[in-house]
Amino acid sequence: MKCSEKDSADSKESDLARKKLAPAPSWTLPPAQRCPGTARGRRSMDSQAWAHAGAAERGRARRRTPGRRTRKDWSCSLIVASLVGAFGSSFLYGYNLSVVNAPAQYIKSFYNESWERRHGHTIDPDTLTLLWSVTVSIFAIGGLVGTLMVKLIGKVLGRKYTLLVNNGFAISAALLMACSLQAGAFEMLIVGRFIMGVDGGIALSALPMYLNEISPKEIRGSLGQVTAIFICIGVFAGQVMGLPELLGKERTWPYLFGMIAVPAFVQLVSLPFLPESPRYLLFEKRDQAGAEKAFQTFLGKEDVSREVEEVLMESRVQRNVQLVSVLELLRSPLVRWQVFTVVITMACYQLCGLNAIWFYTNSIFEKAGISPEKIPYITLSTGGIETLAAIFSGLVIERLGRRPLLMGGFGLMALFFGILTITLTLQDHAPWIPYLSIVCILAIIASFCSGPGGIPFILTGEFFQQSQRPAAFIIAGTVNWLSNFAVGLLFPFIQKSLDTYCFLVFAAICLTGAVYFYFVLPETKNRTQAEISQAFAKRNKACPPENTDSAASDTKATRKPEPDPASTLDNYVKNGVV
């Protein structure tokens, strides 16, 4: 009886072994096993391996404690690269937004004196207003030109060397603007502003790409917020340096523009000691040894084989894909809503009204009834609030996510713009109402910098593949700078026509953006590009490419503790592979 039971058990074990060894019917297999020799099969195998590697990394990340993970991810080289890169790039963008505000009356006097010296009579007030508007808004035209140059320069030089070459624009612009008063040529100031715009256009595309490609996925949002934080610090620094006690005087205002050369020089001598983007080295240069060294430097560890293999898997998936042009990206149905969302995000970023506040802060405070002596110091408080709000956003973005911060930021801005309109309309009815206007302005700035101030640059890097990213940043930058130019040029006329009701226009834009993000934008926190594409797939009405689909489905499958053949088949049927 015991022998019979033993034979029966042995028979069952042998049957199970035969079932495991027997080939499964071809219709139950994924394409990588049905047709391993075909291009379809090879792409699917690469995608599956890539997805399994990503799933393994997620499992390892879950096993780490949050404290250990943070200390490991934030290496010294990663921090230095982000600080040096942002100081010579986004800092200068923010600085140039605010630096023209304090010396505005002295610059207009310089224009009038130069005109009278050349033509023998004072300048016409309308001509002076036009020259001042051009001085402010030509910065955005330069930014558009710089944005259009990024793809070509970035492909040849890479991310790091694009930032280094860009310092040449900043230093030349600083020299032109600093010498304009002594030369008696206001054209030098206008040309310098244009060149500085070119620098900003290149910087706001190359820097987010560089930070996105060197950062681990777990801290990608926080590191991306460094761009926004340094824009805010640059705005604050421009306000501080423009105080009458420092450089905001009639004979010293050119040095405000000469200070631009300092951050550019710091980046020029520091960034060469840091590595190029490892993803750029692997994708564009096929330099695996250089990419390994870059990973080791940025991650602060010797064993980077897993990270290199993940990028190699992605590289093999996209090995036959060339850099996508802007026109191809606009025509692609697979990223239609991603592109549309980037356009809406960047348009709201500029048209929400914050740049109007920066460009014309003094006149807004005068409308609020603040005495001229107090205006520079109240303006200084706005820069401080902006910096603190941006730092707060960088600390919480990986906990709260991108979507809540964007919706909440634009929603609060719409609310406070509405209140600001009421306070400006009723400012003569009580002595305390002008101060309520200041509180509204500070609240608008804090709401902007807590989310909308930096997240648009992060989303542009997260929505698209490596081959699509340069074209995506060109589209985002074009919308960004055209909107910037429109606000700088048109806001004085809007303010003149609508008076205190002008901010209702910005309230409507902010509210529209918040509603759009509520219905359209998926959360991208700690998600791969393939998973983000899957989130947009239903709205695009076009499934992602087979490699992305299978990668996403395999990623979901590997998250289950014990996947079985039936669940694997269900995943392939669901994604339309079978």
Co-location of 403 and 477 in the same domain:
yes
Q: By mean pLDDT, which of 94-98, 287-291, 418-422 is the weakest?
A: 287-291
Co-location of 226 and 355 in the same domain:
no
Domain that holds residue 238: 74-274
Q: How far is CA 464 from CA 334, 339, 379, in A?
A: 10, 9, 38
Co-location of 244 and 354 in the same domain:
no
Residue 512: band (very low, low, confident or very high) from pLDDT cuts 50, 70, 90: very high
Q: How far is CA 181 from CA 106, 170, 185, 257, 435, in A?
A: 11, 19, 7, 11, 37
Residues in the chain: 578
Q: Does residue 38 lie within any of the structural domains?
A: no
User: In the prediction, which pLDDT does 514 show?
Assistant: 92
End-of-domain residue from the set 215, 248, 274: 274
- Mean model confidence pLDDT for the chain: 75
Q: Does residue 62 lie within any of the structural domains?
A: no
Buried/exposed code over 289-300 (b: 16+ C-beta within 10 A; e: otherwise): ebbbbbbbbbbb
Mean pLDDT value of segment 494-505: 80
Residue 521 · residue 403 · CB < 8 Å: yes
> Which tens digit of pLDDT belongs to each residue from 243-282?
888 887 888 888 999 999 999 999 999 888 888 888 877 7
Q: What is the end-to-end Cα distance of the chain in Å, rounded?
A: 49
Co-location of 233 and 351 in the same domain:
no
Q: Which residue has the higher pLDDT, 449 or 362?
A: 449
User: In the prediction, which pLDDT does 575 show?
Assistant: 41
Number of domains, the chain: 2
**How many Cβ atoms are within 10 Å of 15's Cβ, its own excluded?**
10
Co-location of 230 and 329 in the same domain:
no
CATH (domain of 520): 1.20.1250.20
Q: Does residue 527 lie within any of the structural domains?
A: yes
Co-location of 184 and 263 in the same domain:
yes
> Which tens digit of pLDDT belongs to each residue from 135-165?
887 888 888 888 888 878 877 888 888 999 9
Q: Does residue 145 lie within any of the structural domains?
A: yes
Q: Which residue has the higher pLDDT, 44 or 452?
A: 452
Mean pLDDT value of segment 503-508: 89
Structure-block tokens of residue 36: 């391993």
CA distance 357 to 98: 10
pTM score of the predicted model: 0.69
